[in-house]
Amino acid sequence: MNLNLTLAARYLAGRKLRTFLTTLAIVFGVVILFGMNIILPSMMQALEANMKAAAGVVDFSVTSVSGEAFDPAVMARLDGIQEITAIAPAFVRTFNLGADFFDNDPATADRITAIQLVGMDPDAVQTLRAFPIASGRFLQTSDSDAAVISQSLADALRLTVGDTLTLPTVNGLTDLTIVGLLPPRTLPGNEEVFVTLGAAQAMGGQPGRITTIDLNVALDAGDQEGRDAVAAEIQSSLGSSYVIGALTSGADVFAALQMGQAILSMFGIMALFMGGFVIHNTFRTVLMERQHDIGMLRAVGASRRTILNLFITEGLVQGVLGTLVGLALGYLFGVGILKFAEGPISTFVNIRLDTPVVEPGIVLLSIFMGIGVTVVAGVLPAVRASRISPLDALRPTSAQADFERERGRGFWVGALLVALSLVMLFIGQDAMIAAGGFVFLIGLVFLAPAIVRPITDMFSVLLGRLYAREGTGEVARGNMLRQPARVAATASATMIGLAVIVAVGAVLTSMTGTMTNLLRKNLGSDYLMVPPSIGLWASNVGASEGLAEELAAIQGVGPVATTRFAGSASEGVAISLLGIDPAIYPQVSGMAFQEGDESAYDDLAAGRSMIVNGAFLLATGAELGDTLELATPDGVQSYRIAAVAADMLNPKVTTAFISQANMAADFGRAEDVLIQLNLEEGAEAESVDSQIRALMHDYPQFNTIAGRAYVEQMLELLNVAFSALYFLLAFLAVPSLIAMLNTLAISVIERTREIGMLRAVGATRRQVRRMVTAEALLLAGIGTGMGLLSGLYLGYSWVVAMEAFFPLEYSFPIAGLIAGLSTGLIFGALAGLIPARQAAKMDVVAALRYE
Amino acid sequence: MNTVETRELTKIYGSGDTAVTALDSISIHAAEGEFVAVMGPSGCGKSTLLHLLGGLDHPTRGKVIISGQDVAEMTDDALTELRRRQMGFVFQFFNLLPVLSAVENAALPIMLDGVKPDEAKAKATEWLTRFGLADRLVNRPDQLSGGQQQRVAVARALVSEPKLVLADEPTGNLDTRSGDEIAALLREVSQKYGRTVVMVSHDPRIAAYADRIIFLKDGKVIDETVLEQKNGKNAEMVAERMTKLAH
Ligand SMILES: Nc1ncnc2c1ncn2[C@@H]1O[C@H](COP(=O)(O)OP(=O)(O)OP(=O)(O)O)[C@@H](O)[C@H]1O
Ligand SMILES: [Mg+2]
């Protein structure tokens, strides 16, 4: 075997515990990074499959950029293109069905939670694709309430030809008669219900509009060049308001999922970063420990490069090992979560998760990060190792002297950074504060070695009392002071771990507080009629204006505010447009304004203005007062940003509120997807309630709830989501546990001979154990102290940074502090356990022989 | 020809008030196949001299010339190669890598030089066998006695067939019997294998194995004596000389 590999393998094998702990840190980072990135792409792929299936088997599908319905007259623009052999309009909508819509039985899981309504011209469409009817007949142009469905949907609903299929539509429930059955559906995605174009338009509340133009061309499937040319011709005939190919509806879901993926990747990278810290720490110790070995190697003729390679090889071995194990465990982790989450997710977003998706890119990224972090963390110590002169083999103290010099420099760098971060805090500009948190943290890492002594002195008074009779506290203190570099490195790792806990605690506390307020304000109306998918408005079936009018007519019902939806896009960014009545909306609901104020409602009423949320600004890069071009089914329209505000339902979706009048004029949508209403004062609560519920009975796509109950329900959901985040946090704390365990284990190994001597001169096993435990507690104390301090700053800076796209008010994280403190101390004691036992178990003779 | 020689070699540690002149204008030499011992009281500059001879440290003034080449004019890489191919070191402590077996430790210099591991180990085995360690080849250093460890170190110093072997107190850590064994071994290295050996020791009994002894005091050469190896009374003679020089 190659000398480098031999040496690396032997050194690693010689320190099994340390190698295990170091590698574990990398495993951990890779598990999170890789595992998390399996989960979301799997969901995305399922969604994509859904959409592809929806596009059917035609050559090209034309939709509007906004995903909205448009005028069929557009088809005329394609008349001149000769390659087109067949063309047909269609009206396609995905209808989310309320829970238990078909089986009316909450106990059994719903098999069908959404269907795709496909309205088409029966004559035209049959020139486009074949419909192999299994029984009954196909649609005819004269049909008005006829439907054709697949055998599999019919089986699921226990229906057959001649039976009635009832669907919720904008006009209440609509009955369809099944006239024909197609073979069972084999493609993934939602079951389709085929009806005539007119029927579909009526059910979707958009008479005379279509959503899709399907067409076939006279070209071979293999003729990609010809196809591209035709696609380009179609595109230029239609203009930029239309896209060819896959449907864009669902783009908002993509946006939300991508955001989630970015956040989760951040967690993974952070864990890897901590892993890198652990490795760096280990290598530093290794450097000191092997000083003589390296000097000797240099003396007998090893070049600097050989020493460098030796260290890098050792890092690589651990990096590769850790990454491989991490990939395997990460895969299992991802699959496990998917299995576990399948149920809850499918009620939320309408997709089915089949197999986990592993994108080659993410595998590469994980490998690159896992191995890269190890190597990068090892490079600095490796370079320092290569600088060790052969003379150092004979001089035991030089590394320590080096360190003293470095500490002097580090102290000033650290002090400067901390001072800078405090200045940044007091300047009070958002961007400054946001960056300041990190500057503070890094400053503390530099300062750590210099403040080890004062903090150690402080804590050792306490420990001294605890262990007063044995003198072990004193020995522990002496050990810490002898190796301030190592102590500082461990303390820093602990500090970062705890700082993140406290900081995220601060963000969570602030979020819960703010969200609770916003929830009460935004959704605190007396009654709420909500669709199954909140935020994913495009997949919901709403109601025509008639419903809101009828509700308002009920005796005792006060103002009724409705929200409408239209899809749009601006410069390629998908935008979710919500239409409100600027006069009524503020009476029943509300938003939290970040820039501008309530007067923006008047702007909405006065002209083409919009109130956008933080995600909108982030995605488009626009600012308050800018005017943006929004894609409509008939070209583009300019809208000015009148205010920036957040509402409860769309925090992550790029959303803009416009007036319902403008929405009807520009986007042709007048369908209410969310209804909120208040009761008049002194209204007969019970009778009003029963009247409202009776009216809503015909609109099962809505869930009718009393507002306050809904707020409670949402808060509960929020709590669940936050618990999940806390769980992730605990994950992040694990690397700092590993770091502490690692350093303590190292310190015990390093002092093997000394411990042997202590035992030889009469220290009991118990005393040795206590000595190591005391050291662990001291170490934890230092890290915890620094961690809590920097966590407070970091948390504040994060809240300030997040305010940019979500309204947040800083709340002091008492819970986070307690969590951080107890985590630090419990971990400290835990981390001391294994090394303490090892030290106590040590064989005296073997220890004295140890070199 | 001299394997190694120094010209007015001076080494000063530190500067100003705290400056220590460890070596003061020393000119010495060691001929091919010669066994030279360097003696003197603690702190007189013996180790410093040896480090300079091995190119491990840089002189303040003066020259070290190895096989006709001035060490000061060589790059770190060239020096490293020189050490690997033409020099062998034996130290008092920390001689062996704890993670490698005896044979691997002995083979280290030529493995670093790119010789195939099997070949390198075969060669190392030869030397270890010569030094009576044939049955300890696969043992790790912590499974060897102090004397055995030093014998492995001597084998390592010879495995690359160097011209010059430098030893700093190679017996300092050993009992009398093992010390004698190592000293005799070094003598064999110069007599039988024709290497130049420079050894530092403060023990008259050990130094007495050499062909010539150089006495240092306060960084200066104060005496030199050539020993007749047939004379059994060398050790007493050297000891007497030492005590006299100390005053
Ligand atoms: N790195 C150094 N920095 C400063 N002074 C040094 C250094 N190394 C050695 N010295 C000083 O140089 C002088 C010679 O040291 P050297 O190690 O060569 O002595 P020695 O003869 O080998 O002694 P011993 O027999 O105790 O090993 C001593 O006074 C020592 O204190
Ligand atoms: Mg010495």
Query: Is B14 near ligand 1, meaning CB less than 6 Å away?
Result: yes
The 3 state secondary structure assigned to A58-93 is CCEEEEECCCCCECHHHHHHHCCCCCEEEEEEEEEE
From chain A, the residues in CB contact with B120 under 8 A are: none
Reported as a single tens digit per residue, the pLDDT across A352-362 is: 555 677 778 88
We report the CATH number of the domain holding residue B167 as 3.40.50.300
Reported as a single tens digit per residue, the pLDDT across A124-173 is: 887 777 777 888 898 888 888 899 988 878 887 888 888 888 888 877 78
Residues A582 and A685 in one domain: yes
Highest mean pLDDT among A204-208, A217-221, A742-746, A841-845: A204-208
Name the one residue in this structure whose structure tokens are 């240092």. B216
Q: Is A704 left (phi over 0), alpha (psi -120 to 50) or beta?
A: beta
**B140 touching chain A per CB within 8 A:** no
Per-residue pLDDT at A401 exceeds 50? no
**Residues A528, A553: Cα–Cα separation, whole Å:** 16
Question: Using 50, 70 and 90 to split pLDDT, how confident is the model at B8?
Answer: very high
**B101 touching chain A per CB within 8 A:** no
Q: Considering only the C-alpha atoms of chain B, give the largest distance between any 2 of them, rounded to a whole number of Å.
A: 55
Structure tokens at A396: 């035991």
Per-residue pLDDT at A454 exceeds 80? no
Nearest Cα neighbor of A633 from A52, A55, A72 is A72
Exposure on the CB side of residue B244, measured as CA atoms within 13 A: 9
The Å distance, Cα A290 to ligand 1 centre, comes to 23
Query: Is B45 near ligand 1, meaning CB less than 6 Å away?
Result: yes
Question: Using 50, 70 and 90 to split pLDDT, how confident is the model at B122?
Answer: very high
Is the Cβ–Cβ distance between B114 and B194 less than 8 Å?
no
Residue A408 lies in a domain: no
Question: Which of B12, B42, B44 for a ligand 1 pocket mutation test, highest count of atoms within 8 Å of Cβ?
Answer: B44
The 10 Å Cβ neighbour count of residue A722 is: 15
Calculate the average pLDDT of chain B.
86
Per-residue pLDDT at A445 exceeds 50? yes
Residues A478 and A610 in one domain: no
Residue A634 lies in a domain: yes
Question: Which carries the bigger pLDDT value, residue A746 or residue A692?
Answer: A692
Q: How close is the nearest chain A Cα to the Cα of B163, in Å?
A: 14
Name the one residue in this structure whose structure tokens are 């864990």. A271
Highest mean pLDDT among A377-381, A570-574, B202-206: B202-206
- Helix crossing, A304-348 with B76-86: angle to 10°? 110
Question: Using 50, 70 and 90 to split pLDDT, how confident is the model at A658?
Answer: very high
User: How far, in Å, are A13, A281, A322, A340, B91 from residue A371 at the CA level?
Assistant: 19, 16, 8, 30, 38
Structure tokens at A787: 């961690």
Structure tokens at A211: 């959503």
**Residues A479, A473: Cα–Cα separation, whole Å:** 10
Q: Based on the structure, what is the number of domains in chain B? A: 1
Is the Cβ–Cβ distance between A829 and A776 less than 8 Å?
yes
Instruction: Supply the range of the domain harboring residue A717.
Output: 453-524+712-851
Tell me which of A347-361, A564-578, A616-630 is least confident. Answer: A347-361
Question: Using 50, 70 and 90 to split pLDDT, how confident is the model at A757?
Answer: low
Please, what's the b/e burial string for A215-246 (b: 16 or more CB within 10 A of its CB; e: otherwise)? bbbebeeeeeeebeebbebbeeebeebbbbee
Residue A433 lies in a domain: no
Minimal-distance CA residue of chain B relative to A11: B99
SS3 A92: strand
Strands B164-168 and B87-90: parallel
A7/B97 CB distance under 8 A: yes
Tell me which of A334-338, A376-380, A564-568, A582-586 is least confident. Answer: A334-338
Q: Based on the structure, what is the number of domains in chain A? A: 4
Kindly state the average pLDDT of the residues A347-370.
70
Q: How close is the nearest chain A Cα to the Cα of B109, in Å?
A: 6
Residue A426 lies in a domain: no
pLDDT computed for residue B232 by the predictor = 62
Per-residue pLDDT at A838 exceeds 80? no
Closest protein CA for atom 13 of ligand 1: B22
The Å distance, Cα B219 to ligand 1 centre, comes to 10
Last residue of a domain, one of A354, A371, A398: A398
Q: Among residues of chain A, what percentage have pLDDT more than 70?
A: 74
Radius of gyration of chain A (CA): 33
Structure tokens at A522: 């935004």
Structure tokens at A80: 């001149």
Residues A574 and A595 in one domain: yes
Residues A588 and A616 in one domain: yes
Name the one residue in this structure whose structure tokens are 């005028």. A71
A394/B85 CB distance under 8 A: no
Nearest Cα neighbor of A489 from A322, A289, A283, A318 is A283
Highest mean pLDDT among A711-725, A768-782, B67-81, B154-168: B154-168
Kindly state the average pLDDT of the residues B84-108.
83
Question: Using 50, 70 and 90 to split pLDDT, how confident is the model at A521?
Answer: confident
pLDDT computed for residue A614 by the predictor = 80
The Å distance, Cα B13 to ligand 1 centre, comes to 9
A299/B56 CB distance under 8 A: yes
Instruction: Supply the range of the domain harboring residue B39.
Output: 2-246
Last residue of a domain, one of A227, A245, A263: A245
Question: Using 50, 70 and 90 to split pLDDT, how confident is the model at A610?
Answer: very high
Per-residue pLDDT at A611 exceeds 90? yes
| Candidate from A1, A301, A849 with C-beta closest to B83 | A301
pLDDT computed for residue A398 by the predictor = 42
SS3 B4: strand
Q: What DSSP string runs through A333-367? A: HHHHHHHHHHHHHHHHS-----S----HHHHHHHH
User: How far, in Å, are A79, A215, A216 from residue A82 at the CA level?
Assistant: 8, 12, 11
Q: Among residues of chain A, what percentage have pLDDT more than 90?
A: 5
Residues A464 and A573 in one domain: no
pLDDT computed for residue A52 by the predictor = 43
pLDDT computed for residue B11 by the predictor = 92
Tell me which of A429-433, A689-693, B47-51 is least confident. Answer: A429-433
| Candidate from B57, B85, B96 with C-beta closest to A391 | B57
Q: Which residues of A touch B (CB under 8 A)?
A: 1, 3, 6-7, 10-11, 14, 292-293, 295-304, 306, 389-391, 393-394, 849-851
Residues A205 and A291 in one domain: no
pLDDT computed for residue B170 by the predictor = 86
Question: Counting every residue, how long is chain A?
Answer: 851
Question: Which carries the bigger pLDDT value, residue A708 or residue A295?
Answer: A295
Residues A326 and A360 in one domain: yes
Residues A540 and A635 in one domain: yes
In DSSP terms, A60 is beta-bridged to A215
Q: Among residues of chain B, what percentage have pLDDT more than 90?
A: 21
User: How far, in Å, are A223, A295, A696, A717, B81 from residue A525 at the CA level?
Assistant: 58, 76, 17, 19, 84
Residues A501 and A554 in one domain: no
Residue A693 lies in a domain: yes
A7/B98 CB distance under 8 A: no
Q: What DSSP string runs through A27-62? A: HHHHHHHHHHHHHHHHHHHHHHHHHHHHHTT-SEEE
Last residue of a domain, one of A193, A211, A245: A245
pLDDT computed for residue B85 by the predictor = 85
Residues A180 and A309 in one domain: no
**Residues B81, B160: Cα–Cα separation, whole Å:** 11
Name the one residue in this structure whose structure tokens are 């429930």. A173
Question: Which carries the bigger pLDDT value, residue A537 or residue B11?
Answer: B11
Radius of gyration of chain B (CA): 18
Q: Among residues of chain B, what percentage have pLDDT more than 70?
A: 96
Kindly state the average pLDDT of the residues A688-717.
77
**B220 touching chain A per CB within 8 A:** no
**Residues A335, A272: Cα–Cα separation, whole Å:** 21
Residue A443 lies in a domain: no
- pTM attached to this predicted model: 0.58
**B104 touching chain A per CB within 8 A:** yes
Residues A665 and A681 in one domain: yes
Tell me which of A274-283, A396-405, A406-415, A548-557 is least confident. Answer: A396-405
Question: Which carries the bigger pLDDT value, residue A362 or residue A269?
Answer: A362
pLDDT computed for residue A187 by the predictor = 52
From chain A, the residues in CB contact with B108 under 8 A are: 297, 300
Per-residue pLDDT at A841 exceeds 90? no
Closest protein CA for atom 12 of ligand 1: B22
Nearest Cα neighbor of B157 from B184, B208, B196 is B196
**Residues A728, A708: Cα–Cα separation, whole Å:** 30
Question: Which carries the bigger pLDDT value, residue A462 or residue A836?
Answer: A836
pLDDT computed for residue A397 by the predictor = 47
Q: Determine which helix (DSSP H) or strand (DSSP E) holds B22, and give its type and residue range.
A: strand B20-26
Residue A798 lies in a domain: yes
Per-residue pLDDT at A109 exceeds 60? no
CA pseudo-torsion sign A592, A594, A598, A603: negative
pLDDT computed for residue B36 by the predictor = 93
**Residues A791, B163: Cα–Cα separation, whole Å:** 62
Question: Using 50, 70 and 90 to split pLDDT, how confident is the model at B23?
Answer: very high
Q: Determine which helix (DSSP H) or strand (DSSP E) holds A641, and give its type and residue range.
A: strand A635-646
pLDDT computed for residue A325 by the predictor = 93
Structure tokens at A574: 């998908």
Residues A184 and A35 in one domain: no
Structure tokens at B76: 């770190």
A390/B56 CB distance under 8 A: yes
Closest protein CA for atom 30 of ligand 1: B43
Query: Is B220 near ligand 1, meaning CB less than 6 Å away?
Result: no
